[in-house]
Amino acid sequence: MKPDERSFRIALVADRYVNPADGEVDGLAVAAKAGWGVMQLPAADYPAAVTAPVLATIAEELQEFSRHGYDIVQVGDCTGLATALAAAGLSAPDRMTPGTDAELLEYLRARPAPPVSTWSWLAKDQG
């Protein structure tokens, strides 16, 4: 079986970088290049009543990643995220707002390796 290739790195990415307008930073392409997973933050045009439960779900998922030592960063802004994270007992992750693809790529690649994971069977398989 092909080994599990996860990176243990996750970027919370504002919608404007997931669905970029022409000339804007392409967060998905950069994350793919850097080997980071993406959790998309809801678009700014959704009503707060729609985004609140979505952000609560994102916070639930982040609780699970966080307790396993995954590295988590935020790329761009998202109204309501800090409140949802606080309600889940999580502090706000490191955040950056990129001006260019290169700037985002450099930021993601410069992050230190995440804490040792508890995934002992993967470590064994991958030597």
Partner 1 sequence: MAHCLLNQNSKVGDGAHCAGVYSPVVDVLRAKGWRIEQMPCPELAFTGLNRFWAVKEQLDTPAYRQHCRRLAAGVAEMISVRAGQGEEVALIGVEGSPSMGVHITSSDPARGGRPEWPEGTAEHVSGEGIFVEELRRELDERGLSVRLGGETHALADHDEATQSQQITAALDDR
β-pair partners for 12? 39, 74
Shortest spacing between CB 24 and partner 1, in angstroms: 13
Rounded Cα gap, residues 56 and 62, in angstroms: 10
Rounded Cα gap, residues 93 and 75, in angstroms: 10
Cβ(66)–Cβ(56) under 8 Å? no
38 binds partner 1 (CB under 8 A): yes
Q: Count residues near partner 1 (CB under 8 A).
A: 43
The pattern of x and - marking residues 40 through 59 that bind partner 1 according to CB under 8 A reads x-xx--xx--x--xx--xx-
* Chain-centroid distance, C-alpha 42: 13
Cβ(35)–Cβ(7) under 8 Å? yes
Shortest spacing between CB 10 and partner 1, in angstroms: 6
Q: Given the rule CB under 8 A, which residues bind partner 1?
A: 1-10, 18-19, 28, 31-32, 34-40, 42-43, 46-47, 50, 53-54, 57-58, 60-61, 63-65, 68, 70, 118-119, 121-122, 125
